[in-house]
Amino acid sequence: MATNVLRGARGLAVAATVVLPLALLTQLPADAAPGPGTWTSITTPADGTSFLNEFGHEGHLTVKGKTSPDVSAVNVYCLRGSGSSVDATIVATTVPVVTGGFTATVPVPSAPTFPQCRLRALPDGVSATQTYLASYAGPVVNFDSWKYLASQDTFQLRASSRTGTMATNGMGVCAAADLATVAPDETVPGGSHGCLYALGQSGLGATHGTVGVDGHEAFTTGAALGYGLTPTRLATSSFHLRHGGGMGWVETMPLDRCSTDTAFPPSAGTCPTLVSSGVEIRQVSTYLPGGHQVRIRTEFRSVDGERHALRLDYLNSVSPLADGVMGFRFPGQKSFHGSTTGEVVSALGHAAGTTLARSNRLSDEGDPAVGTRAITWSRTPSRITFSGSDPNTFGMSYRLRVPKGGSVHLGFADSDGVLTSQAVALGHRGERDMMSAPRISSPDPGSVIHGRTTTVKGVVTSGANGLPTSVTVNGHAATLKPNKSGSKAAFAATFDESLGKHTVTVVAKDAGGNTRSASVRIRNI
Amino acid sequence: MAYAPAMAHTPLRRLAVLGGCGVLAMSFQAPAHADPTFTHISTPSGRTTLLDDGGSPTFAISGTASPDVTTVDIVCVRGPSGSTDSTVVASAVPVAGGGFSTVSPVPDLSGSSPVCRLKALPSGILPDDDTTSFSGPILNIDIVKRTSDGTNTLDFRLTAGSGNGEISVASAGKCGDSSMGTLADDLSVTRDSEGCVGDLGGTAGSVRVDGHPALLPPEVLAFTNGTSPLSLSFHTRKDGQLTWTESAPLLRCSGTDTYPPSSPGACGSLLGTGVSFHRVGTFDRGGHQVRLRDTFTSSDSAKHRLRLVYGVESTPPPTGALGFAFPGRSGGFHGSMTGQVVTGLPKKAATVLVRSDRFTAEGDPSAGTRAITWSRPPDRLAFSADDATVFGLQYALAVPKNGTAALGLTDSQATLTSTARALGSRAADDMMPAPRITSPARGAVITGKRTKVTGVVRAGANGLPVSVTVNGHRATLKPTGASRATYHVVFDESLGKHTLTAVARDAGGNRRSTSITVRNK
């Protein structure tokens, strides 16, 4: 059984509320309908509050507020949309109002249609289907939730933040799935649907799966279960809300292989025992506060002290609209085009890059029913290959080396915008965030150095591709000294400069070919 | 209970499992891939503003279609998929050689939102279907409805769209700027600010010239046997900015000063008051601001006393309650009372905020805040004695001999109060342009202490500035036209570097300044 540790959840325990059909909403007890000037205001929770709970184990939520003197009881709803097409989740019914105030501690609603909605306390007699409810003011809240799915050793997670919402699974299934924009009335008109960065059961071909270690087929826990095999151990996952919005989750998962070589795909008969491949995956994912980007940082680490050769074929499947056709824009391309089964895309650049996928390439820019997804990688895949049977599914292939007792790193970002221009901007941000700039600790900006001998020191930090592999200072190679955890490395370089004013530029380069630089002005006298 | 994280794909009415089980069961079964059906309207190109000011204007539409399309219906659509509001522009347009072309009348959307997206739908496709593959431009369809006696325009109503906003406007004597709304991404509109701003009609005190109630053309039409022509013109830009001008004489009844006259006959004959009214309206700022610039000009070479009450009426939603935030007051939005008089207003351009429902949360898309900015402080701001949603801005102005009195009002709207406040603040700044220093040049070296500064000022909402000072020295102002004046001033400065600051002040108490640095040696 996986250890699903819930960190930072604000709820406590138990019970789910029910989304009632509109017909039932109109059957709530009703007093005389309030008139103009009747108001309610929910003061707790605050606007933008997120609740994170495990599905079926929801905690409690305290709702407090005030009302105009003519209100004696309120029904608290969480609403999306308005009028006859409202999507209403009942949070609390017939909460009494005493001296203009009300308070109720109730179970957090369980799995509403979308996590984000607006809480409103409606006086008895006011229907949630009424067109105008703005006098009953309340906060927009996010009911984020996750559920462990034992049959595939994965989870399903849904979250919202500000103007975005997303749904995803664990890394053995879909490391990123759906992203969409939430309209001001909390409805979700469009979005980008699919399954990205999947290391699941099926590969693109019939002869191998998505992961290979040292030439052997290797299986994530979900893939193993899918073939009827028993993993050496299950994955662990933990979820937490982030201060300032968004959320994060951390997964660890063994990569197993059959104890004896067997044909692919395996079965319980041909592969009765799984053993560790010697490699474990640790993946840290972040749903950024803006609500339109998921950032994924993956570490493949040697757990047996040996070096290992990794073959990874990340699978990505994107969904077009029912009557639309997907459009793809690979790095270096200026417009969307269709894809063909079996198509191979190469010349993808030599550093972090982004592929755009539009859910209907025939649509207008700005059509709210259509979305553009930015699929960003920290290092260029050796190739992109479309499925032989589905032009909306493609694999991104990597060959990586896990050093003895060490780790190899890889990063992705998944972004979404109604406008392609928004998705492009998010993709650029995703690329930039793959690596941080070096920090120069010495000399200080504006320093005066006596003589020509110039020593430059500083620190580089690990990015999506791990620690930088080289640092140069004005073209001179610096020495790199990583710390024990491998999260940082000190660099130092000494060289001669001519006398006078100079710009000292430190350039760090990572294993994915990304470079970042920092400069200071100094003077040698 | 099933747990199915999923994106409800509303446009397709597909409450499908996508992220969850759909993904978990990801398979690589190839869907049938027929050549996609599409249409694309290439003309008009990009967001386009069409103006229908009568005369049955037409516009050209052309585009391309996939080979399987033989005819298209041109429709203009808005609103969410599934409950789309559509207007048919042209039916059964034939497609030949993969292209189509037609010339159609500008559709009449005056009963609806003036902004929609033009699409060419193949026969059999309905606007409520998934129409994302049928691409086309967004149209702002600005429509003017004139009321005429057969010869002269007497009144008008205008609807217009720009950016993500839309407006409805009527003539000055019949509401002025009446409603503003915000467009969603799907072009559906939330009309969260309804009412009248800048109305100069409807009460005995709306316009009085030399003590007599004066009538604008809509009131002449409504209350008398006569007519008074309203001179109108409209100009649109491709970006959606719309400018209109309305001009008319201010008339009065010969038989009575009662307003309105008890009967058309009681008015007697119509007399000129000696003052004509001229309004320039501009709609822009992304569709969320209307600027009204009014001038009252002596048409008989005599001076006149003008008393104006600009009516501001706001319509709350059926169960909401209006909120008012007056300049110089703190504490957010408050209710209003009949007969309430608001005092302590700043003595310059300022903004009153009107929230459609003061009980709403900031950001609630069904509520809005209107920012009403005046160019000069009213002498009195008072609510109606019988309606707490109506207040008047009262002004007493003097129209000089052969001259003009000027006044500006700006009406801004936004869903967020913070945005409305920012628009109001910008509107107040826009009431007066800064002076320009033409000499000396920036950084100039002046020989000796004698310093001569010349420059230009332009008329703002309150007309030309009434004074200009440079470093505290009063400059001489010389008008060179109705909207421009030069100024000059000579004074001694000590030797060394100085900042020369020209400060212009207008009749509304507003100040704007410009500075340059010079050196006297």
User: Tens of pLDDT along B86-137?
Assistant: 999 999 999 999 999 999 999 988 778 899 999 999 999 999 998 999 999 9
Q: Is the pLDDT of residue A436 over 90?
A: yes
Q: Which two tokens stand for residue B43?
A: 């003309």
**Nearest to A413, CA basis, from A310, A316, A517, A485:** A316
ipTM (interface predicted TM): 0.86
Closest chain A CA to residue B182 = A184
Average pLDDT of chain B?
91
What mean pLDDT is predicted for residues A464-493? 97
Rounded Cα distance, B43 and B63, in Å: 7
* All domains in chain B, ordered by first residue: 39-140 (2.60.40), 149-429 (2.70.98), 436-520 (2.60.40.650)
CA nearest neighbour of A114 among A181, A62, A194 = A181
Residue A470 CB-density burial (10 A; 0-12 exposed, 13-18 middle, 19+ buried): middle
Task: Just give the CATH number of A153-432.
Answer: 2.70.98
Q: Contacts of residue B133 in chain A, CB cutoff 8 Å?
A: 321, 323-325, 360, 362-363
H or E element in which residue A204 lies: none
Determine contact: B58 vs chain A, CB below 8 A: no
pLDDT tens digits, residue range B380-413?
Answer: 999 999 999 999 999 999 999 999 999 999 999 9
User: Which residues of chain A lie closer than 8 angstroms to B31, CB-CB?
Assistant: 390, 392
Confidence of residue A2 (pLDDT cuts 50, 70, 90): very low
Question: Residue B168 pLDDT > 80, yes or no?
Answer: yes
Residue A7: strand pairing partners? A240
* pLDDT-derived band at A202, boundaries 50, 70, 90: confident
Cross-chain Cβ contact B364/A134 below 8 Å? yes
Of B26, B81, B357, the CB nearest to A198: B26
Residue of B nearest to A151 (CA): B24
Tokens of A2: 């996986």
Mean pLDDT is lowest, of A124-128, A261-265, A289-293, B464-468, for A261-265
Give the three-class secondary structure for A23.
Answer: helix
Judged by CB atoms closer than 8 Å, whether chains meet at B24 and A149 is answered as yes
Cβ–Cβ gap B132/A324 under 8 Å:
yes
A341 Cβ under 8 Å from any chain B Cβ: yes
Query: CB distance B365–A185 less than 8 Å?
Result: yes
Using pLDDT thresholds of 50, 70 and 90, give the confidence band for residue B14: very low
Token pair recorded at residue B142: 């600005």
- pLDDT for res A261: 82
Q: Tell whether B302 lies on the interface with A, counting CB pairs under 8 A.
A: no
- Contact at CB, A362 and B133, closer than 8 angstroms: yes
* Inter-chain contacts counted by CB atoms under 8 A, chains A and B: 218
| Domain layout of chain A by residue ranges | 3-143, 153-432, 439-524
Q: Which CATH architecture has domain A439-524?
A: Sandwich (2.60)
Q: Which residue has the tokens 């069961």?
A: B25
Angle in degrees, CA B216, B220, B223, rounded to 5: 130
User: Which CATH number describes the domain made up of A3-143?
Assistant: 2.60.40
Q: Which of A144-153, A261-270, B191-200, B510-519 has the lowest mean pLDDT?
A: B191-200
Q: State the smallest CA–CA distance between residue A194 and chain B in angstroms.
A: 7
Instruction: Look at B321 and A37 and tell me if their CB atoms are within 8 Å.
Output: yes
Chosen for mutation from B10, B192, B193, B319 (greatest number of chain A CBs closer than 10 Å) is: B319
Q: Do domains A3-143 and A439-524 have the same CATH topology?
A: yes
Quick check: B8 and A317 CB within 8 A? no
Mean pLDDT of B238-260: 93
B-chain residues near A36 (CB < 8 A): 316, 318-321
Local confidence band at A515 (pLDDT 50, 70, 90 cut-offs): very high
E strand or H helix at A429, and its extent?
A: helix A420-432
Does B9 lie at the interface with A, CB-CB under 8 angstroms?
Answer: yes
Pick the residue of B28, B118, B387 with the most A CBs within 10 A to test the interface with A by mutation: B28
Selected for mutation to probe chain A from B9, B23, B37, B359 (highest A CB count within 10 Å) is B23
**8 Å CB contact of A367 and B135:** yes
